Amino acid sequence: MKKYVLTALAAGFLVAAAPAAMAQNVAIVNGKAVPKTRLDALAAQKARAGRPVNPDELRQEAITLEILAQEAQARGLDASDSYKAQVENAKQVLLINELFNDFIKNNPVSDEEVKAEYDKWAAANGGKEYRARHILVEKEEQAKDIIAQIKKGKKFEDLAKKLSKDPGSGANGGDLDWAAPSNYVKEFSDAMVALGKGKMTDTPVKSQFGYHIIRLDDVREIKLPSFEEVKPQIQQALPQQKAAKFRDDLVKKAKVE
């Protein structure tokens, strides 16, 4: 009777333990367990890639991978030099990823750093933008003749459509839309910035593209996005910038022979 009780207790323990063990695995393939952690890793990988995660498809994918891995092992491919080299490379990459994850975790971006980055970006991209028109021709004499025609009353826009060799702006009467001076070659931007609003260059402006007649139609301050508008992008980019500096500093300090 005592033996029966012990056997029954043991049986009860095994029945209770089985679901707990299965909870740690998603399947048993040819007698080998596929752990749930492998499923979690696949789900995280798909999530990072922005792909939808379907639990049933994920489980089947984990099972399929296990089947294929078992077949590769059965053929002895895990003992090949090629496989071993790839494993070492993969281990190095994973270790480096852990290094950067650890660095980013222990060096969080502060609100002060985010604001400083915005201020630096705003200073570099602020200033004025210009709305100009131009007529581009090959010869200086032709450019001088066009300037003379405009001064006699011909419309700048009409001559641009007819004579400019810049097809993009020419079709729009020479209109270059709003742009910062840095968008143009130096000769062009210097001449444009020197003009008063509504004024035209008195002499042709030579650049690598030919000869320009430039008219400045308007000037305004560049309207940059507010700090709050770009804050999320800065918060996303700054950790990568800090990690890149961390990498570069390590490379500089390393002794390489």
Q: Alpha-carbon distance 245 to 148, whole Å? A: 57
Asked if residue 212 belongs to a domain, the reply is: yes
Q: Does a structural domain hold residue 232?
A: no
> Is residue 101 domain-resident?
no
Is 257 inside a domain boundary?
no
Q: State percent of the chain over pLDDT 70.
A: 91
Q: How far apart are CA 57 and CA 47, in angstroms?
A: 14
Per-residue confidence band for 51, with pLDDT thresholds at 50, 70 and 90: confident
Q: Which domain holds residue 191?
A: 127-221
Residues 53 and 134 placed together within one structural domain of the fold = no
Q: How many other CB atoms are there within 10 angstroms of residue 52's CB atom?
A: 7
Tokens of 251: 């490379």
Q: Decide which of 78, 101, 136 is a domain's last residue.
A: 78
pLDDT tens string 52-84: 888 899 999 999 999 999 999 999 999 999 999
Question: E strands of 70-162, at which residues?
Answer: 128-137
Residues 13 and 72 in one domain: yes
Shared-domain flag, residues 141 and 71:
no
Same domain, 48 and 133: no
* Residue 119 placed within a domain: no
Average pLDDT of every residue of the chain: 90
Q: What is the CATH number of the domain that holds 134?
A: 3.10.50.40
Distances (CA, A) of 63 to 9, 39, 42, 58, 70: 34, 9, 12, 9, 11
Euclidean distance between CA atoms 193 and 186, whole angstroms: 10
Q: Which one has a higher pLDDT value, 62 or 11?
A: 62
- Residue 74 forms part of a structural domain: yes
pLDDT grade, residue 23 (50/70/90)? low
Q: Is residue 100 part of a domain?
A: no
How far apart, in whole angstroms, are the C-alpha atoms of residue 243 and residue 107? 9
Give the mean model confidence (pLDDT) for residues 4-28: 51
Query: Whose structure tokens read 């390489």?
Result: 256
Residue-wise pLDDT tens digits, 115-162:
999 999 998 888 999 999 999 999 999 999 999 999 999 999 999 999
Which amino acid belongs to residue 256?
A: V
Task: Give the pair of three-digit tokens for residue 213.
Answer: 């007649």
- H/E element, 95: helix 81-106
Give the pLDDT of residue 9.
Answer: 36
183-209 per-position pLDDT tens digit: 999 999 999 999 999 999 999 999 999
**70 and 137 share one domain:** no
Last residue of a domain, one of 14, 46, 78: 78
99 within a domain of the structure (yes/no)? no
213 and 133, same domain (yes or no) = yes
pLDDT higher than 70, residue 22: no
pTM: 0.57
Instruction: Name the domain count of the chain.
Output: 2
Q: Which token pair is 191?
A: 């001449």
